[in-house]
């Protein structure tokens, strides 16, 4: 029997006047919807409808307190503040886990396990994610949530039951008619990235301090003495372990334990699998590493556990960590260092970005010496000063950023950042229009070498003309020596000139020339994007290329015609027309064409392919495709990908952890497909 059945399907609503039956029904409905949302990842109703039902139950219970039950979802809004947290002694200690970083650490772990088990065979391991949150113990007595405690020092934690009751994904009652007499469910409380962003937005709006990362936000929310605040904080929970268990047999394997949890309505992360041997572990790690940026929550590694419980028992523990488990950690994405200076950088559009010069520090396996502070307001809001100790983050390919300062380490002589009044590169005034967050150098491309360099680097970048070997240092030299002023000048460079530059030789110069030659065969979309027109990103460039088909059609377009292009509004249209009206830009375009840059011109209008006119919205994590891959495939078939669901959406493609977009699709009756469904649509006309 599937677990959906335990909660029952929708049942007919009793008469609102029959209070006992009505409150009973409301509780069942609310619990069913919450379970569908948090555990099955299949939302059944829109949030607003849930809230309506919730309020009705709240009012009923207020008017008739005798109808209240211990597992009522209304208990989740948070009661009165506590004077302090009570101490809770864990019946079974909450241990920590040993860490490994390198492949060798993982192979050594596997070797120790095999030796400990005297096994000649490869071991089965349960692999899961290492969530970056807080460990928690949930005690259910006769199936009802009785107590929740933090890990504390492992032996004694804090009683956070009142707060945990507000976490909607944690069941207040286990979904079974035959619960164990007592079970300690262990797992991690965490905050999803999107909820974290929303929380920080709220903090900003309220003029309150932001949280540095989701982990701190989760910790701060859980250790709130006022549960009503916790109730507003969207915490989540994933189970990954067990403490004491009375009155039921322990499953034979860790993977079976997690399946049992899922059947009981306890959320378990879907990103898990059972693998064999050290190679299986390393393959799991590599796979998660690739998908990590797309996960809706932060993880700091993966965790391997010997799957069979009898084998776990044989292996036992050393000091405070089990021999049967290992955390395989990613290099830390955050580090603490000091701000030595704050300087400004001028971008290709003249935007002035404050950048912190840092004492070198290793973050995510790379040495970082600069980190962006985004803009003047950010510097003030985060209150970052020269001399401060700061937390720096670098996630994946993302530019390192200063996340927060460490107030207790501020030196007495810390200095505030002052926005310069003149561009440090060209001396033109720096202006900041009212209502805008960004200050700009007023010099423009002709006067400001920084803007010129920025524009040239954009032109050669991978998603634009994709000219390999033309990196920052080379472009710097070319601009400084006056060899290149506009992108067309790149194509006039000769072998001798290039080979004479610093750090260049015959061979590298040849490579650059070959890359320049190769870049001449391109697409209209790339060419438009490479021009660096303000507000014209990659997707707008694609829309323009698809709509006009030929460059001359775009060059001749009126504002009216421009507005007919998908996704182009008045601001973007005016920006494009302004760019094209400048004779220097016209000349640049002609010079580039004369240099031999070409593409296949198509007939105007979107290519007629079978998904033309269809709009897709992607949500959640797909099992094999990355989001950009799915998007590229849809676009190649003539379809479009939009960011939000509306009545005009043709399909929502939903993966794991799909959230509000899926709910919206169901609300609007938009068809929902999974990855397999998408592949079908891509293959053949419907
Ligand atoms: S198992 C006996 N599994 O990492 C093993 N821990 O250092 C007990 N954590 O405090 C822990 N994800 O907060 C386990 N999938 C996972 C985990 C996980 C995150 C945290 C947990 C614990 C720490 C262990």
How does pLDDT run across 552-602, given as a tens digit for each residue? 999 999 999 999 988 789 999 999 999 999 998 999 999 999 999 999 987
- 143 Cα–ligand 1 center, Å: 24
* Region label for 664, one of left (φ > 0), alpha (ψ between -120 and 50) or beta (otherwise): alpha
- 93 Cα–ligand 1 center, Å: 13
CA dist 262 and 268 (Å) reads 6
Helix axes 103-117, 277-291, angle to 10 degrees: 140
Q: Residues 477, 478, 479, 480: is their CA dihedral positive or negative? A: positive
| Ligand 1 atom nearest residue 94's Cα | 8
**Under a CB-based contact definition with an 8 Å cutoff, are residues 372 and 475 in contact?**
no
DSSP 235-254: -EEEEEEEEEEESSPPPSBH
**Under a CB-based contact definition with an 8 Å cutoff, are residues 639 and 612 in contact?**
yes
Q: What is the pLDDT of residues 538-556, one digit of tens each?
A: 889 998 998 999 999 999 9
CA-proximal residue: ligand 1, atom 16 (nearest)? 130
pLDDT of the residue at 192: 96
Average pLDDT over residues 457-465: 94
- 296 Cα–ligand 1 center, Å: 19
Q: What is the pLDDT of residues 477-530, one digit of tens each?
A: 999 999 999 999 999 999 999 999 999 999 999 999 999 999 999 999 999 999
pLDDT of 621 higher than 60: yes
* Residue 365: count of CB within 10 angstroms of its CB: 11
Mutation to probe ligand 1, out of 299, 327, 328 (largest number of atoms < 8 A from CB) = 327
* Residue 507: count of CB within 10 angstroms of its CB: 8
pLDDT of 639 higher than 90: no
pLDDT of the residue at 629: 80
pLDDT of the residue at 676: 87
Helices (H) and strands (E) in the chain, counts: 27, 24
Query: Which one of 130, 305, 453, 640 is the catalytic residue?
Result: 130
Average pLDDT over residues 424-452: 91
pLDDT of 4 higher than 50: no
Q: What are the pocket residues of ligand 1 if the criterion is a CB atom closer than 6 Å to any ligand atom?
A: 95-97, 128-131, 135, 151, 188, 240-241, 303, 322, 325
pLDDT of the residue at 8: 63
- 90 Cα–ligand 1 center, Å: 16
pLDDT of the residue at 293: 84
Mean pLDDT of the chain: 90
* Residue 643: count of CB within 10 angstroms of its CB: 7
Average pLDDT over residues 611-619: 89
| Ligand 1 atom nearest residue 241's Cα | 1
CA-proximal residue: ligand 1, atom 15 (nearest)? 130
CA dist 257 and 239 (Å) reads 10
pLDDT of 686 higher than 50: no
Mutation to probe ligand 1, out of 97, 155, 326 (largest number of atoms < 8 A from CB) = 97
CA dist 165 and 241 (Å) reads 20
pLDDT of the residue at 258: 98
Between 371 and 445, name the one with better pLDDT.
Answer: 371
- 242 Cα–ligand 1 center, Å: 11
pLDDT of 289 higher than 70: yes
pLDDT of 3 higher than 50: no
CA-proximal residue: ligand 1, atom 2 (nearest)? 95
Q: What is the pLDDT of residues 129-167, one digit of tens each?
A: 999 999 999 999 999 999 999 998 889 999 999 999 999
Q: What is the pLDDT of residues 290-308, one digit of tens each?
A: 999 889 999 999 999 999 9
Judge whether 130 counts as a catalytic residue. Answer: yes
CA-proximal residue: ligand 1, atom 17 (nearest)? 130
pLDDT of the residue at 608: 54
Residue 2 — very low, low, confident or very high, per pLDDT cuts 50/70/90? very low
Q: What is the pLDDT of residues 314-332, one digit of tens each?
A: 999 887 789 999 999 988 7
Provide the terminal-to-terminal Cα distance of the chain, rounded to the nearest Å.
34
| Ligand 1 atom nearest residue 130's Cα | 12
- 505 Cα–ligand 1 center, Å: 53
CA dist 421 and 269 (Å) reads 52
pLDDT of the residue at 398: 73
pLDDT of the residue at 644: 86
| Ligand 1 atom nearest residue 321's Cα | 2
- 349 Cα–ligand 1 center, Å: 46
Q: What is the pLDDT of residues 82-121, one digit of tens each?
A: 678 899 999 999 988 999 989 999 999 999 999 999 999 9
Residue with tokens 């790690």: 285
pLDDT of the residue at 397: 66
| Ligand 1 atom nearest residue 128's Cα | 15
| Ligand 1 atom nearest residue 97's Cα | 7
Dihedrals phi, psi of 637, to nearest 5 degrees: -90, 10
CA dist 661 and 643 (Å) reads 9
pLDDT of 685 higher than 80: no
Q: What is the pLDDT of residues 34-79, one digit of tens each?
A: 888 777 767 777 777 887 888 899 889 989 989 888 788 887 776 6
pLDDT of 334 higher than 50: yes
Strand ordering across the sheet containing 651-654: 640-642, 615-619, 651-654, 672-673
CA-proximal residue: ligand 1, atom 9 (nearest)? 130
pLDDT of 604 higher than 70: no
Mutation to probe ligand 1, out of 98, 130, 151, 318 (largest number of atoms < 8 A from CB) = 130
pLDDT of the residue at 72: 85
Average pLDDT over residues 380-408: 87
- 103 Cα–ligand 1 center, Å: 20
């Amino acid at each position: 029997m599937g677990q959906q059945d335990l909660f029952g399907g929708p049942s007919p609503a009793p008469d609102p006047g029959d209070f006992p039956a009505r409150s009973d029904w409301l509780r069942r409905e609310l619990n069913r919807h919450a379970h569908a949302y948090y555990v099955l990842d299949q939302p059944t109703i829109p949030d607003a409808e849930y809230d309506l039902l919730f309020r009705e139950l709240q009012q009923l219970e207020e008017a008739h307190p005798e109808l209240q039950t211990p597992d009522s979802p209304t208990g989740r809004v948070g009661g009165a503040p506590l004077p302090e947290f009570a101490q809770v002694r864990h019946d079974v200690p909450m241990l920590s886990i040993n860490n490994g970083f390198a492949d060798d650490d993982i192979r050594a772990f596997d070797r120790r396990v095999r030796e400990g088990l005297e096994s000649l065979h490869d071991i089965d391991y349960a692999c899961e994610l290492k969530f970056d949150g807080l460990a928690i113990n949930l005690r259910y007595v006769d199936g009802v949530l009785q107590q929740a405690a933090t890990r504390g020092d492992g032996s004694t934690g804090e009683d956070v039951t009142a707060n945990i009751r507000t976490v909607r994904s944690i069941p207040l009652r286990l979904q079974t008619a035959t619960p164990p007499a007592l079970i300690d469910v262990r797992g991690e409380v965490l905050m999803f990235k999107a909820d974290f962003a929303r929380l920080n937005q709220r903090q900003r709006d309220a003029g309150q301090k932001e949280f540095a990362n989701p982990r701190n936000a989760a910790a701060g929310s859980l250790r709130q003495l006022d549960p009503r605040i916790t109730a507003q904080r969207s915490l989540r929970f994933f189970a990954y372990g067990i403490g004491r268990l009375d009155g039921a047999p322990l499953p034979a394997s860790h993977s079976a334990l997690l399946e049992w949890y899922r059947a009981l309505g306890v959320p378990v992360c879907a990103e898990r699998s059972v693998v064999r041997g050290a190679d299986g572990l390393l393959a799991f790690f590599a796979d998660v590493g690739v998908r990590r940026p797309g996960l809706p929550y932060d993880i700091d590694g993966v965790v391997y556990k010997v799957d069979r419980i009898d084998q776990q028992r044989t292996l036992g523990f050393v000091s405070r960590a089990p021999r049967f488990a290992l955390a395989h950690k990613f290099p830390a994405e955050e580090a603490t260092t000091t701000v030595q200076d704050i300087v400004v950088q001028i971008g290709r559009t003249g935007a002035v970005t404050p950048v912190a010069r840092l004492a070198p520090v290793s973050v995510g396996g790379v040495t970082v010496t600069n980190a962006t502070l985004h803009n003047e307001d950010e510097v003030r809001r985060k209150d970052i000063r020269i001399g401060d100790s700061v937390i720096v983050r670098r996630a994946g390919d993302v530019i390192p950023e200063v996340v927060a300062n460490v107030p207790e380490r501020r030196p007495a002589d810390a200095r505030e950042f002052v926005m310069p009044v003149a561009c440090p590169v060209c001396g033109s005034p720096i202006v900041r229009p009212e209502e805008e967050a960004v200050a700009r150098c007023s010099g423009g491309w002709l006067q400001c070498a920084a803007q010129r360099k920025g524009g040239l680097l954009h032109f050669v970048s991978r998603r634009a003309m994709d000219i390999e070997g033309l990196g920052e240092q080379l472009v710097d030299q070319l601009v400084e020596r006056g060899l290149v002023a506009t992108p067309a000048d790149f194509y006039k460079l000769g072998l001798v000139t290039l080979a004479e530059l610093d750090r260049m030789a015959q061979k590298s110069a040849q490579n650059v020339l070959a890359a320049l030659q190769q870049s001449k065969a391109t697409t209209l979309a790339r060419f438009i994007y490479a021009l660096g027109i303000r507000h014209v990103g990659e997707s707008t460039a694609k829309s323009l290329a698809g709509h006009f088909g030929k460059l001359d059609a775009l060059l001749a377009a009126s504002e009216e015609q421009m507005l007919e292009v998908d996704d182009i509004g008045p601001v973007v249209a005016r920006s494009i027309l302004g760019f094209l009206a400048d004779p220097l830009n016209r000349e640049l375009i002609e010079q580039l064409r004369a240099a031999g840059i070409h593409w296949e011109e198509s007939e105007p209008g979107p290519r007629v392919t079978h998904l033309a006119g269809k709009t897709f919205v992607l949500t959640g994590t797909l099992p094999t495709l990355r989001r950009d891959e799915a998007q590229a495939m849809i676009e190649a078939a003539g379809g479009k990908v939009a960011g939000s669901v509306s009545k005009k959406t043709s399909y929502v493609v939903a993966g794991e952890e799909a959230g509000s977009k899926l709910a919206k699709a169901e609300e609007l009756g938009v068809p929902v497909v999974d990855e397999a469904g998408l592949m079908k649509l891509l293959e053949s006309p419907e």
